[in-house]
Amino acid sequence: MDVDAPPGFGAPGDPNPPPPSPGSANPNPLEPAAPIGLGASLPPLSPKQGGKDPSIVWQHFIKLAGSDPQNPRSQCKYYKNQYKCYGKKNGTSGMLQHMKVCKKWPFPRDDKQKTLSFQAKREGESGSNVLVVANYSEERIRLALARMIIIDELPFKFVERQGFQEFMKIVEPRFPIPHRTTIARACMKIYSSEVDILRRAFVGQRVCVTTDTWTSIQNLNYMVVTAHFIDGDWTYQKKILNFCPIANHKGDTIGRAVESCLLKWGIDRLFTITADNASSNDVAIDYVKKKTKERDSSILGGEFMHMRCCAHILNLIVQSGLKSIHESIAKVRNAVRYVRASPARFEKFQECVENEKIKAKCLLSLDVPTRWNSTYLMLDCALKFVRAFDRLEEEDGHYKLYFCELDGNGKKPIGPPNYLDWENVKTFVKFLGIFYEATLRFSGSLFVTSNTYFHELISIEDQLQQLCSVDGDPLLKSMAVEMKKKYDKYWGSVDNINLMLFVAIVLDPRYKLKYVKFWFREWYGKDKGDAMSSKVRDALKRLYVERVGQNGASSSSGSGASLSRDSMLSVGNASLSDRIKSYNNKFKQHLADEDSVESKSELDRYLLESSEDPDVEDFDILMWWKMNSSRYRVLSQIARDVLAIPVSTVASESAFSTGGRVLDSFRSSLSPNTVEALICTQNWLKDAKKKRPIKLRECMDNVEDMDGFEIDTGKYMFILFVVYINYLVICSMLTNHFILNGIVEIASVCPMPMEEDPSTVVLDDDE
C-alpha cells in the first residue's frame, strides 16, 4: 500500500534534514547517516518495469538479510522494530503505523502545531476571507467526514472508494482512512449530540408540527414529524423530529406515534398540528388533543390544534374543476406529445423555433394529466412556441398525419391547436397561474407562511367570483363553478377555517384587525362581517389572557401597583398639607393615565396604533417583531407562536427532495433507526443559508440548449428522460403523489443507457 508523504515530516520549509542526493550512499544501512523525512521530497527512483513505485517506508526500513524468502522481515532504522513485509500477505500498513509512533523518530513533528490559513467565503456571504487558526486533529477530521457523509447523502462505503482515498493521500496523508463501520458510528455520534442540542432548544418552547404518512412500493408505512418554531433570535426553524415505520395508516396508530415523538423530545407545549384532509388524521389529532389536554400541555385546550393543509385543499379545488378537461388543453398536449415522441421530431421543431427567432429558455415538457401544476407549466411553456407550432404544421407533413391516425384505443388524437385554442390556453394559464403561485407560497418551508394565507384567500375568492359571473366560454365557466363549490366547502365560512390563520394577519403590523374587518364586510356585509371579525379578536384576546396568566401578571399593571404602595408608605408621616398636595398629584396622574393609551393592554395599544406601510417591499415581519418585542413583551410571544404555524405539510415532504431519494438502494438496506438518524441529522446540519425554496420555473428554464449536444440518439433521449424525471420529481413536492404513469409513458420512448438497475423505494401517499 503506497502512501504519499504528509506535510510536516521533513517537507520543504520544515526544520527536517534534507534528503540525501541521488548519488550518495550510506555504507551502514542500519545507521541513519542521511535520514529522509516522511514528508521530504524524495530522490527519483528507477521505476520497475510493469510495477509500482517503492513505498516511502523503504526510506526508513531495511529488509533483513538472511530471513526466510517466503516470510521476509524488515527492521526500523531507528527503533529496531521488526515487521513482516511479504507483499502479498502483509504489505506496508504495519510499518506506516510504526512510523507515526516511533519513539526514536529523528525528525521533529508536532500534531499540536497550529497553522494560519484563510477560510474562503461561502456562497452568498459578504466580506473578505477569514483568517483561521487550525491544527491537525484526527477526531475533528473524522467527524467532518461523517458530516459530509450525512449532508451529501453518501453511502458509508464512500470512504473505501479509490478516488476518495487517493484524494486524502494528497490532502492529509497522516489521517488514517476509517472503515465504513467506524464512519457509521461517527454519524450516530453526531446524531446523538445534535439530539441533545435540539432537546435543550425545546425547553419552554411552543412548537407547531406537520406530519404526513406514505406507503412504499414494498408496502411499508412511514411517518414523518417535523417541528416548526421561531427561536429566541426570531429565526424561523424547521426540524425533522421523526422518520419511522408505522404499522398502518389508522388514526389511532398515527396519533400514538405523534404522541410518542412529542414525549421523546420533551415537547410539552404543542400549538398546532398541520395535516392533510384524510379522515385518519382527524382521528389522530383528536387523540393527541385529548392526551395533551390531560397533561395540560396544550394551548387553549387544543381548540385550534387541527390545521388543515392549505396546499392539499387547493389541489382538491383545482382538480374538481379539471375533471372535464378542456378540448384546447387536449390539443396542445397532443401537439407536445408529437414533438417529444422522437429526436427527429424534436430536431425539426427546434428548426422551426430558430426560424421564428424565438428566444425562450424553457424546455417543452409533457404534463402528467393527473397533476394540474404540471399541466399549467406545459401550457405556459407551449405558449412561448405558438409560432413554432404553426410553422411545424406548414412544413412537417407528418405533423398533420399524426392527428389523422388511430391511437391504441381506436380514436384519433384531437388537434392540432388553432388560433382559438391558443387563446383559450392563454385564459387557462392566467387562471391556473393564480393557484400555482398560491401553492408555491403555501408550500414555503423556510419562511413564515401563516400571514400570507388571508391574501391568497382573497385573491382566489375574487377570481372565482369573476369567472362564475362572466359570460363567455361555457366550459371555463362550468369549471369555475365546480371549483367554487369545492372552495365553499372548505373555505366558504369562517367556521370551517382555523381562526389562527386570521389571527396571523392581525399580527402582521401592516394590516392588523382593520384589514380583516374590511374584507369580512366586503364578503358578508356589515353585520355578519363584524360578527366574524369579533370572533377573530376574541381568539387573539384569549391567547393574550392565557399568556399573561402564564407570565404571572400583565406587564402594564404590575409595576404601577408597586409604585402606588411605595408612594403610600412614603407619605405616611408627612404633614396634612403635604399629603393633600400628594393626593392632588396622584389624581392628576390618574387623569393623565386614563386618557393615555399607555393604560391600555399591549393588545389594545397594538390594535390602536397606526399600521405599517403595506407597500414596503421585502418587509420582514420577524425583524419587526424582534425590534418591537420590548414594547410588546406579551404580544411578541404570541406572535412567535402564531407566525410559526405552517399552512402546508409540504414542508415535511420537501425535506426528502424526491420520493425515490429518501430510501434508495443504500438507505433501504439500513435499519430504521439508522435511516431516521441520517435523515434527521441531514436536516439539522444543512446550513440554513444554503437552503433555498425550490423554484420550478428556474429549474425548467436553466436546462441547457439541446442544440449544443452532439450525442447519439440513445444518449440524447436518455438526457431528455433525466430532465423529465427531474421535472416530475420537483412537481411531486407540491402534492403527495409521485405519479408513475408519466414515467412509464416517457420511459417507453426513451432508451436508457444504464449498466444496472438502481433499485429505489418510491414513497406514495396513502389517501
Last residue of a domain, one of 625, 643, 661: 643
Q: Tell me whether residue 293 is in a domain.
A: yes
Tell whether 230 and 96 lie within a shared domain.
no
C-alpha cell at 63: 529488509
Residue 725: the pLDDT is 45
Give pLDDT tens digits for 280-307: 888 999 999 998 888 887 888 888 999 9
Tell whether 210 and 269 lie within a shared domain.
yes
Tell whether 606 and 620 lie within a shared domain.
yes
Q: Tell me whether residue 752 is in a domain.
A: no
Tell whether 658 and 536 lie within a shared domain.
no
Buried b (16+ CB within 10 A) or exposed e, 316-344: bbbbbbbeeebebbbbbbbbbbbbbeebe
Amino acid at site 601: S
Residue 548: the pLDDT is 87
Phi, psi of 153 (to 5 degrees): 55, 45
What gap in Å lies between CA 438 and CA 286, rounded to an integer? 29
Which run of H or of E encompasses 196? Answer: helix 180-201
Residue 652: the pLDDT is 43
Residue 52: the pLDDT is 58
C-alpha cell at 296: 395540560
Tell whether 287 and 247 lie within a shared domain.
yes
User: In this structure, what CATH number is given to the domain that contains residue 209?
Assistant: 3.30.420
* Separation in Å, CA 277 to CA 283, 312, 315, 705: 11, 7, 11, 42
Neighbouring CB atoms inside 10 A of 235's CB total: 11
Whole-model pTM above 0.85?
no
Amino acid at site 762: V
HSE, side-chain direction, 13 A CA sphere, residue 369? 14
Apex CA 693: angle with CA 687 and CA 697, to 5°?
A: 140
What gap in Å lies between CA 766 and CA 245, rounded to an integer? 14
For the chain, the domain total comes to 3
Residue 427: the pLDDT is 83
Q: Tell me whether residue 441 is in a domain.
A: no
Tell whether 622 and 657 lie within a shared domain.
no
What residues of the chain score a pLDDT lower than 70? 1-53, 87-88, 108-113, 120-127, 214-219, 324-325, 369-370, 445, 472, 552-579, 583, 587-600, 650-669, 687-767
Q: Tell me whether residue 145 is in a domain.
A: no
Q: Tell me whether residue 428 is in a domain.
A: no
Tell whether 638 and 650 lie within a shared domain.
no
Which run of H or of E encompasses 482? Answer: helix 474-491
Q: Tell me whether residue 537 is in a domain.
A: yes
Looking up cell 393557484, which residue turns up?
435
Q: Tell me whether residue 753 is in a domain.
A: no
Residue 171: the pLDDT is 85
Residue 696: the pLDDT is 36
Residue 433: the pLDDT is 86
Neighbouring CB atoms inside 10 A of 414's CB total: 14
Tell whether 593 and 665 lie within a shared domain.
no
The answer for residues whose C-beta is within 8 angstroms of residue 254's C-beta and 6 or more apart is 211, 213, 223, 246, 280, 281, 283, 284
Q: How buried is 373 (Cβ within 10 angstroms: 0-12 exposed, 13-18 middle, 19+ buried)? A: buried
Last residue of a domain, one of 609, 626, 643: 643
| Residue 76, strand partner residues | 61
Q: Tell me whether residue 398 is in a domain.
A: no
What residues make up the domain containing 62? 1-44+52-110
DSSP character for 663? B
Neighbouring CB atoms inside 10 A of 621's CB total: 19
Q: Which runs of consecutive H residues, i.e. helices, occur in 552-627?
A: 558-570, 576-595, 602-608, 621-627
Contact 222, 246 (CB under 8 A): yes
* Separation in Å, CA 522 to CA 494, 508, 517, 528: 14, 20, 9, 10
Residue 739: the pLDDT is 32
- Mutual orientation of helices 343-355 and 327-340 as an angle, nearest 10°? 110
Contact 735, 648 (CB under 8 A): no
Residue 163: the pLDDT is 92
Tell whether 103 and 246 lie within a shared domain.
no
Tell whether 492 and 611 lie within a shared domain.
yes
Q: Please, what is the end-to-end C-alpha distance for the chain in angstroms?
A: 56
C-alpha cell at 469: 359571473
* Separation in Å, CA 444 to CA 397, 441, 694: 46, 6, 9
Tell whether 88 and 212 lie within a shared domain.
no
Contact 114, 152 (CB under 8 A): no
Residue 218: the pLDDT is 65
Tell whether 248 and 217 lie within a shared domain.
yes
